[in-house]
């Protein structure tokens, strides 16, 4: 019987401790809930103040936003103007490139003509040189050395 009573006492003690711990846990949960309620009340009070602050901040942000929009519009105008200037410059450059290409082509043609003329002159000289030798052979040395003679022309 003593053992049974001791076992019952142990069970009652364990049950009491369990109930006590449950009460402590419930108390802690209630304290947390109370803290949360107090925090909500503070936030509600703060939210009224915050609402007024938020309204002021919103007005400031709207003003800043308007300023930024104006700056963006100004930059957009500047970019459009710069793009127009760039297009004009590119058109002018393209025109100049065409002029340069035409001048290069003219120079090439002049060079070709000059080369053709130089070849023609060389051919004439070689023919005249052969003719001078025949003429000088027939009339003796120095017969064609006079001023204005065909062999005296030099380039």
Query: pLDDT digit string (tens) for 27-68?
Result: 878 888 888 887 877 777 766 666 677 677 778 878 887 788
For residue 143, name the pLDDT band (cuts at 50, 70, 90).
Answer: very low
How far is residue 140's CA from residue 116's CA, in Å, rounded to a whole number? 35
Q: What is the DSSP letter of 152?
A: G
- Structural domain spans, the chain: 2-139
């Amino acid at each position: 019987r003593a053992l049974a009573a001791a076992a019952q006492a142990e069970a009652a003690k364990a049950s009491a401790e369990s109930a006590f711990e449950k009460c402590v846990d419930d108390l802690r949960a209630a304290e947390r809930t109370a803290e949360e309620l107090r925090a909500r009340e503070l936030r509600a009070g703060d939210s009224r103040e915050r609402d007024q602050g938020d309204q002021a901040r919103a007005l400031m942000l709207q003003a800043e936003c308007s300023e930024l929009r104006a700056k963006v519009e100004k930059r957009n105008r500047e970019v459009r103007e710069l793009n127009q200037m760039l297009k004009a410059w590119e058109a002018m450059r393209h025109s100049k490139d065409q002029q340069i290409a035409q001048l290069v082509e003219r120079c090439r043609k002049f060079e070709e003509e000059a080369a053709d003329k130089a070849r023609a002159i060389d051919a004439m000289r070689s023919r005249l040189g052969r003719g001078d030798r025949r003429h000088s052979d027939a009339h003796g040395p120095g017969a064609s050395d006079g001023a204005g003679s065909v062999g005296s022309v030099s380039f």
